[in-house]
Chains A and B, each alone.
Chain A
């Protein structure tokens, strides 16, 4: 049972990390198009759109790397931030669907011909939220089990 759980958490780590690392590439390569994708959600005042477009892909990148290769506490932080981002993305996509905005989610592609958001995006994000939560619990538990480093005398 412990072996299955460990394999499950590893698979969850790899899946969530791969999603974040895959998602940041297009946004980093074309920040202007990503800013337009952020603007299309109509959730942020115009003054904040560009700043978010500059920073968000790099948060995804650092979270992805932390989930893959960082010690437990940093991994837990990556999972917590990733969970928060996924929750916000899911809320924003839901709002777009309710408002009938035919925009792409801007998740993996910033191209104009990216697929329009639909219910499938919500299902995928729901699964990712679950996996991110599992990774967080495992990493946080591991971090808590280790005593904090002592300050030198």
Chain B
């Protein structure tokens, strides 16, 4: 079916513009009113603190970010190295399958232990506890500084992985 515009007078376009403004105004008023009726913990603030969000910091640092679907793919892709940036006791309590523990504060000393499994081009995914933890981003930046070229951050981390039914492996370093 062809879509052809009818020839109409200018006044009709103005009336259409008025109707558009009316719909947009009604929708905006509804959206803002409903948000204000939300209880405080679930109410969106007018301005969010997005500048300090972990994904914004990763973007600024030039670290690519992946989300749950991408993390699931990487966990099953044996070519990808996965680093858990949390503390050893948190790692031992449960971590993503195939993940290796590399706390950001001990990266200098412990990275050498994985030398036989990594090249500078090995795809790496790093994660920590969840969206409110910065250790994985710090580790990603450090790995980039060491010269690893393909480092990706999974900001959802262990918390999101578990929330969405991901398999958790307990125990120490494989």
B-binding residues in A (CB < 8 A): 5, 8, 28, 31-32, 35, 39-40, 42, 46-47, 49-51, 53-59, 61-63, 66, 73-74, 76-78, 80-81, 100-104, 111-116, 130, 133-134, 137, 140-141, 143-144, 148
The smallest beta-carbon distance between A92 and chain B, in angstroms, is 16
* Minimal Cβ-Cβ distance residue in B for A84: B20
Q: How far is the CA of A112 from the CA of B70 in the complex (A)?
A: 11
Name the contact of A102 in the complex, choosing from B4, B22, B27, B65 (C-beta under 8 A). B65
Given contacts A46-B50, A62-B23, contact A54 B44 (CB under 8 A): yes
**Please, how many angstroms separate the alpha-carbon atoms of A80 and B50 in the complex?**
31
Name the distance in Å between A38's Cβ and chain B's nearest Cβ.
Answer: 9
B51 at the interface (CB under 8 A from A): yes
Choose among A8, A51, A56, A57 the residue with the greatest number of B CB atoms under 10 Å from its CB.
A51
Q: Given A80-B16, A137-B5, A144-B8, A35 and B26 touching (CB < 8 A)?
A: no
Show the binding face of B for A, using Cβ within 8 Å: 1, 3-6, 8-9, 11-12, 15-16, 19-20, 22-24, 26-28, 30-32, 34-35, 38, 42, 44-51, 53, 55-56, 59, 64-70, 156, 160, 163-164
User: A-side binding surface: helix, strand, loop or mixed?
Assistant: helix
In the complex, A122→B73 CA distance in Å? 23
| B48 engages A49 (CB within 8 Å) | yes
Q: Are A54 and B31 in contact (CB under 8 A)?
A: yes
Give the docked Cα–Cα distance between A86 and B145 (Å).
Answer: 41
A102 touches B69 (CB 8 A): yes
State which of B24, B34, B46 has its C-beta within 8 Å of the C-beta of A51. B46
